[in-house]
């Protein structure tokens, strides 16, 4: 989404600029903003754009460029509240642009507004802006994609699936759209259809090894949904071969090797995954669970508990880890503690296929 959206934001301004035709088109400050935007110097664009808007609150090109820069900077912010504030500022700037130019008739303006609505989970307005974007540009892949994402958020999964397929038809090599489509098939529990869809895309992949690796990771997920662990192993192996530095693949490799009964290989991959400093919480929990389960298989239940309980703290919704702890507790004579944990697990029941 990131790099594609950067391109969209740049096109937004470039596509609108010729239509403005006011005195600001020769304003050297606007020329500078545009040049900085093209160079990706978003913080400078934001600061200089804000300064212009302080004196000229409705300066249209400054509104557009500052909003675009604000979104790009928002993408890099890790703090959720700060990120949402940045997107809110961007949305405000795009809305002000629309007020200044109510008849702009530019699809990409509506796409930008829709994307901002998606970030704050305002599905209704995201759908409205995306719909308008499609009306203005019926063959826009991004407009259909954003509408599909908004429909997903609004729990309209059948409609989202069909909309995302339209997006893919306009951009047939976009693996991120393929991933979204597979997600809808999974949500709808149409596992076999999802796999069939992905298999048909294999001859239409982009050249990028990184993008291909993401596709094979998605294919891996589809195979897992059908409990086809042998073909899942082929898919995750392809993903890692194409992109060996991607941290999120290692826990999946460890997990599937565990499913296949390849204990030593599974242990090696789990330990490797835990070596990534930026590994997310749930994958970390998976790797700790695997190491704990392998120790349990060796009869080292107390050592296993150290890993399993740490895993459960990271992901208390994981019933598999909870029951592995219960088994280890019973093996170590901690029956009362095991009974209490069973009650807790049942109270926090979650569908393991989600």
pLDDT in tens, 271-306: 999 999 989 999 999 999 999 999 999 999 999 999
Mean pLDDT, residues 246-252:
97
Residue 136 CA to residue 143 CA, distance in Å, equals: 10
Is the per-residue pLDDT at 251 higher than 80?
yes
Identify the pLDDT of residue 205: 97
Is the per-residue pLDDT at 141 higher than 80?
yes
- Tell me which residue has tokens 């991959």: 269
Of the two residues 192 and 108, the one the predictor is more confident about is 192
Is the per-residue pLDDT at 72 higher than 80?
yes
Identify the pLDDT of residue 25: 55
Residue 113 CA to residue 104 CA, distance in Å, equals: 14
Mean pLDDT, residues 171-178:
97
Is the per-residue pLDDT at 338 higher than 50?
yes
Identify the pLDDT of residue 349: 63
Identify the pLDDT of residue 169: 98
- Tell me which residue has tokens 């200089």: 48
Is the per-residue pLDDT at 21 higher than 50?
no
Residue 225 CA to residue 321 CA, distance in Å, equals: 19
Burial class for 189, CB neighbours closer than 10 Å (0-12, 13-18, 19+): exposed
Token couple for 163: 């909309």
Mean pLDDT, residues 209-218:
98
Identify the pLDDT of residue 109: 84
Token couple for 25: 């088109």
Of the two residues 60 and 174, the one the predictor is more confident about is 174
Q: Which band of pLDDT confidence, cut at 50, 70 and 90, is reported for residue 10?
A: very low
Exposure letters 25-47 (e unless 16+ CB within 10 A, then b): eebebbeebbebbeeeebebbbe
Q: Which band of pLDDT confidence, cut at 50, 70 and 90, is reported for residue 163?
A: very high
Identify the pLDDT of residue 354: 41
Of the two residues 134 and 351, the one the predictor is more confident about is 134
| Domains by residue range for the chain, with CATH | 172-246 (1.25.40.10), 277-354 (1.25.40.10)
Identify the pLDDT of residue 353: 40
Is the per-residue pLDDT at 20 higher than 70?
no
Identify the pLDDT of residue 75: 87
**pTM, entire model:** 0.83
Identify the pLDDT of residue 175: 97
Mean pLDDT check: name the lowest of 5-9, 160-164, 215-219, 305-309: 5-9
Closest alpha carbon to 3 in 120, 128, 116, 142? 142
Residue 46 CA to residue 31 CA, distance in Å, equals: 14
Exposure letters 92-123 (e unless 16+ CB within 10 A, then b): ebbebbbeebeebebbbbbbbbbbbbbbeebb
| Residues comprising the chain, all counted | 354
Token couple for 62: 């400054």
Q: Where are the alpha helices (DSSP H) in 59-106?
A: 60-74, 80-100
Closest alpha carbon to 10 in 50, 38, 36? 38
Cα dihedral sign, 291-295-296-297: positive
Q: Which residues contact 278 (CB under 8 A, 6 or more apart)?
A: 247
Residues 313 and 288 sit within 8 Å (Cβ to Cβ): no
Mean pLDDT, residues 10-27:
47
Summarised one tens digit per residue, pLDDT across range 221-232 is 999 999 999 999
Residues 331 and 301 sit within 8 Å (Cβ to Cβ): yes
**Dihedral angle, C-alpha 315, 316, 317, 321, nearest 10 °:** 80
Q: Which band of pLDDT confidence, cut at 50, 70 and 90, is reported for residue 351?
A: very low
How does the average pLDDT of the chain come out, rounded? 91
Identify the pLDDT of residue 9: 44
Angle in degrees, 0-180, between the axes of helices 229-242 and 249-259, rounded to the nearest 10? 150
């Amino acid at each position: 989404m990131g790099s594609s959206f950067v391109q969209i934001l740049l096109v937004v301004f470039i596509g609108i600029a010729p239509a403005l035709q006011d005195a600001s088109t020769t304003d050297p400050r606007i020329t500078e903003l545009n040049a900085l935007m093209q160079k990706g110097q978003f913080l400078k664009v934001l600061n200089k754009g804000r300064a212009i808007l302080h004196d000229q609150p409705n300066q249209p090109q400054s509104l557009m460029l500052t909003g675009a820069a604000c979104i790009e900077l928002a993408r890099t912010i890790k703090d959720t509240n700060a990120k949402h504030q940045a997107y809110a500022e961007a949305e405000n700037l795009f809305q002000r642009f629309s007020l200044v130019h109510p008849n702009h008739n530019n699809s990409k303006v509506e796409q930008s507004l829709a994307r901002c609505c998606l970030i704050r989970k305002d599905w209704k307005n995201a759908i409205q802006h995306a719909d308008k974007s499609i009306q203005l540009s019926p063959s826009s892949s991004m407009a259909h994609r954003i509408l599909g994402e908004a429909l997903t958020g609004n729990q309209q999964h059948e409609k989202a699936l069909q909309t995302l397929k339209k997006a893919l038809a306009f951009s047939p090599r976009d693996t991120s759209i393929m991933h979204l489509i597979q997600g809808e098939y999974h949500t709808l529990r149409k596992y076999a259809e999802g796999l069939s869809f992905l298999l048909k895309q294999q001859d239409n992949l982009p050249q990028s090894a990184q993008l291909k690796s993401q596709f094979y990771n998605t294919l891996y997920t589809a195979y897992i949904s059908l409990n086809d662990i042998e073909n899942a192993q082929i898919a995750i192996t392809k993903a890692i071969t194409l992109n060996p530095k991607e941290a999120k693949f290692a826990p999946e490799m460890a997990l599937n090797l565990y499913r296949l009964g390849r204990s030593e290989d599974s242990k090696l991959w789990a330990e490797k995954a835990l070596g990534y400093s930026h590994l997310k919480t749930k994958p970390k929990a998976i790797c700790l669970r695997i190491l704990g389960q392998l120790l349990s298989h060796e009869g080292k239940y107390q050592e296993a508990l150290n890993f399993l309980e740490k895993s459960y703290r990271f992901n208390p919704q994981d019933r598999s880890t909870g029951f592995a702890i219960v088994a280890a507790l019973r093996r170590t004579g901690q029956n009362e503690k095991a009974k209490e944990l069973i009650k807790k697990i049942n109270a926090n029941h979650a569908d393991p296929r989600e």
